[in-house]
Amino acid sequence: MKNRSLVSITDYSKQEILYLLDLARKFENNPVSNLLSGRVIASLFFEPSTRTRLSFESAVQRMGGGIIGFSDSNSSSVTKGETLRDTIRTVTNYSDLIVMRHPLEGSAKFASEVSTVPVVNAGDGANQHPTQTMLDLYSIYKTQGTLDGLEIALVGDLKYGRTVHSLLMAMAMFDTRFHFISHPKLQMPDEYKIYLKEKNIHFTESAEFNKKVDSADIIYMTRVQRERFSDPIEYEKTKDTYVLRSNMLQSTKPSMRILHPLPRVNEIHIEVDNDPRAYYFEQALNGVFARQAIIATILGVDHLVK
């Protein structure tokens, strides 16, 4: 994994994912170090972010590294017409690793091809969000004690939600049963359903928040991604399809955990926050440890982690 870009979660094998999860556990036990002393990480966010950007920055700073970059491309020379190619080629001069979020699908792959330092995809349009998946896997492993043989209900915007696309591809390595629950206009894209069929992974599809969730080990809620809609009327029609409330959880398993990549709009009522099965804020914390593991491995200091 050393010096390799992370564009899609499928860039990692099952063994490599398990290795990173073990490393994340070590970072959770011992988050502060000087492993990245003298190293500089560039954080280029062409789209808004709270958790991904700040947890990456926290991860780097807890390992003694430096961080440069922008959280708003309007403050960069992109506003003067600079291309992504030229931006990346320039930033490679200043950094050892680039973390990039960009609204265009495929932008992370493109950046990795023009960069001389590894690029980590922090979300490319509606495509992939592999570091979110690493923290989701870490959260699932911590709460369920395994990644094998679980039932996962993916709820909400399965069309534009990049987190569910990456999570699906990762959990397909672990004999998972999926339930897709979405508005008919926001169904899981065919390419992901074909991906599962080729791997003989079971899934169901429904527009109803139904009994299927009672046997789920994980309910993964997602926000309807307003920024991906070309027609605001379509967003208005679909945005309130699912609002998770406490009374909808009555028959679910005590060991079940509710995950959400966040930000939340209104798809989980705040009354659910007090339910012991609500795990989304702990999930966001796990992002620091998962991202420490990814950075340390790419920069080749993982063997020094205690």
Q: How far is the CB of 80 from ligand CP (least distance, A)?
A: 26
Q: Please choose, out of 82-90, 152-160, 170-178, 260-268, the segment that lies near ligand CP by the rule CB under 6 A.
A: 260-268
Q: Taking CB under 6 A as the rule, does residue 228 contact ligand CP?
A: no
Q: How far is the CB of 46 from ligand CP (least distance, A)?
A: 12
- 3 state SS of 10: helix
Query: Any idea of the CA torsion for 181, 182, 184, 190, to the nearest 10 degrees?
Result: -80
- Residue 296 CA neighbour count, 13 Å, CB half: 30
Q: Taking CB under 6 A as the rule, does residue 50 contact ligand CP?
A: yes
Q: Which is nearer to ligand CP, 124 or 302 (CB)?
A: 124
Is residue 65 within 8 Å of 39, Cβ to Cβ?
yes
- 165 included as an active-site residue: no
Q: Taking CB under 6 A as the rule, does residue 51 contact ligand CP?
A: yes
Q: How far is the CB of 222 from ligand CP (least distance, A)?
A: 10
98 beta partners: 42, 119
Q: How far is the CB of 37 from ligand CP (least distance, A)?
A: 27
What is the strand order of the sheet 203-206 is part of?
203-206, 177-181, 151-155, 218-221, 257-259
Q: From residue 110 to residue 129, what is the string marking binding to ligand CP with x (rule CB under 6 A)?
A: -------------x------
- Catalytic position from the list 39, 53, 101, 165: 101
Q: How far is the CB of 225 from ligand CP (least distance, A)?
A: 10
Q: Taking CB under 6 A as the rule, does residue 261 contact ligand CP?
A: yes
CB under 8 Å to 251, separation ≥6 — which residues?
A: 211, 214
- Catalytic position from the list 4, 51, 193, 277: 51
Q: In this structure, is the dihedral angle defined by the CA atoms of residues 46, 51, 55 and 57, taken in order, positive or negative?
A: positive
Q: Please choose, out of 45-53, 87-95, 247-255, 292-300, the segment that lies near ligand CP by the rule CB under 6 A.
A: 45-53
Q: Which is nearer to ligand CP, 268 or 301 (CB)?
A: 268
Query: Any idea of the CA torsion for 227, 68, 50, 110, to the nearest 10 degrees?
Result: 40
- 52 included as an active-site residue: yes
- Closest CA relative to residue 131, chosen from 140, 139, 123, 141: 123
Specify the length of the chain in residues: 306
Helix (H) or strand (E) segment spanning residue 15 = helix 14-29
- 2 included as an active-site residue: no
Q: Which is nearer to ligand CP, 4 or 51 (CB)?
A: 51
CB under 8 Å to 295, separation ≥6 — which residues?
A: 36, 41, 56, 59, 60, 63, 65, 97, 120
Q: Which is nearer to ligand CP, 51 or 269 (CB)?
A: 51
Binding residues for ligand CP (CB under 6 A): 49-52, 123, 132, 261-263
Which positions are catalytic? 51-52, 80, 101, 129
